[in-house]
Amino acid sequence: MLLKYFYDEKLAQASYLVGCQETGEAIIVDPSRNIEPYIETAREHGVRIVGVTETHIHADFLSGSQELASRLGATLYFSDEGGPDWKYEYATGYDHFYLRNGDVFAIGNIQFEVMHTPGHTPEHISLLVTDGGASIKGPIGIFTGDFVFVGDVGRPDLLEKSVGVRGSSEKMASMMYRSLKQFKKLPDYLQVWPGHGAGSACGKALGAVPSSTIGYEKRTNWALQYENEDRFIEALLAGQPEAPPYFSMMKRLNKEGAQQIQGMAVPLRMEASVDIVQEWVQQGMVVDTRPASDFAAKHIRSVLNIPYNKSFVTWAGWLLNYDQPSYLLATNTDVADIVKDLQSIGLDGIVATMDPCVMELLGESDTRGMKYEEVTWDQVEGAIQTEGIYVLDVRSKAEWEDGHIPQAKHVMLGHLQEQAHTIGHGKPILVYCKTGGRSAIAASILQVHGYKDVQSLVGGYEEWRKQEKLRTTRDV
């Protein structure tokens, strides 16, 4: 048996290639939209991809199952659980099998047994894997998708928060409790191969280790320690992170089918022109992908800053509109990767790109240019104490509740675009987050909405806490 692990750090998403080296056949589990790594790995190991399966209809990334079925003729193995509202509608256009609890299918000499494990979603399945060519019989591991992670379990509230199914959170949490009771009965030695790692919004306390075992999770996973269902439900629903709005779009596209990447128009590469960028602003959303400090020093009016780093895809999903064209200011070396990253969550509407060197065309007195200040706590402490500045915390609700600057108001970054009009224009605005990354994006959003005097706190809340500790020590 061949097992290969793929991990998208920007989405904290894991997928797998399972191959039978005796027959040369392979299957992909929970594939991302970019299928080239699977094709290349299969070629390197002398296997061909004949199947693709998913543990559930994903909400946080666009699946590559349709791409694999369309390009390679791979057979789809999808859940038939959860009722009529949870069927893969596009599957009927390809070779496919619908799976129910207890079903077994094979890829070469490798067997997959289906376990219906609802809780994260109604149709969710897990797959017990048995290597038919091994001397020891029985399963060796389980693909748990978004059911059981290392140190956590899948959140049950996405149907309510992202899809709008009212009152479903408690019902799904109850299903999760029953699914975990089933999970606990499995042999301790089974390996656990989850669908996500630390940083995913599909849970609240995911570990960074890529795999685990049933026995280890029984001992260490907080969610497997409960014997009372009501207490489990209360604990599971508490403190779940905000659900990005693009999750509902992913659910729909992964259910109905999405545009194929092959044949998709390549974004135009335009010569540097401030006038063209201003035209783009009128037509859609322009994203400057430079580091925050570069953007703060000089940028074009009404342009949004989402620095191209590990969290780029997450914030693009929160802030870009699927129904509007988008434009990028990005270096030539980054463009292809950025477009690919946006495609991973179905943001296919990138019309054109331009090099950030366009900033060099802005003169000192050019009203099309803007900047904002990056300030230290020492520089703004006095103004905060005299209420001469509006302090805005853009961290998550959980972070806010865990502690914040006393004078601050709270609007989570992902909701700032829709709530920007609620912030008063009478004072300068100081934005902060944990360390400064999110506040930079927030500063650009506020400027897009017409706020001129905006500042970002260098070091964020962590720096404020450090200064408070120093002050307390001096006072003692």
Structure tokens of 121? Answer: 């979603």
Any residues with CB less than 8 A from the CB of 169 and at least 6 apart, and which?
156, 157, 159, 160, 161, 237
Round to whole Å and give the CA distance between 350 and 327. Answer: 6
Q: Is the Cβ–Cβ distance between 213 and 173 less than 8 Å? A: no
Encoded tokens for 5? 């692990």
Three-state SS for 7-53 is: EECCCCEEEEEEEECCCCEEEEECCECCCHHHHHHHHHCCCEEEEEE
Q: Which of helix, strand or coil describes residue 227?
A: coil
Q: How many residues does the chain have?
A: 476
Q: Which residues of the chain have pLDDT under 70?
A: 135, 474-476
Are 179 and 201 within 8 A, CB to CB? no
Q: Rounded to an integer, what distance in angstroms lies between the CA atom of residue 467 and that of residue 462?
A: 9
Q: What pLDDT was estimated at residue 130?
A: 97
Whole-angstrom distance, CA of residue 50 vs CA of residue 427: 62
- Residue 73, sorted as left (phi over 0), alpha (psi -120 to 50) or beta, turns out to be left
Question: Is 3.40.250.10 the CATH number for 268-370?
Answer: yes
- Domains of the chain, by residue range, sit at 2-256, 268-370, 373-475
**CA–CA distance from 142 to each of 40, 131, 188, 194, 223 (Å)?**
25, 12, 11, 8, 18
CA distance linking residue 381 with residue 70, whole number of Å: 59
Two tokens, residue 310: 């590990």
Tokens of 40: 């290349």
Distance CA 344, CA 11 (A): 9
DSSP 58: -
Residue 167: left if φ>0, alpha if ψ -120 to 50, beta else—which one? left
Q: Where are the beta strands (DSSP E) in 262-411?
A: 268-270, 285-288, 299-300, 304-305, 326-329, 350-354, 369-370, 373-375, 390-393, 409-410
Q: Where does 373-475 sit in CATH, by number?
A: 3.40.250.10
How many CB atoms neighbour CB 132 within 10 A?
Answer: 13
Quote the tokens at residue 52: 């693709």
- Assess if CATH 3.40.50.510 describes domain 2-256: no
Helix 229-237 crosses helix 168-184 at what angle (to 10 degrees)?
120
Domains 268-370 and 373-475 are alike in CATH topology: yes
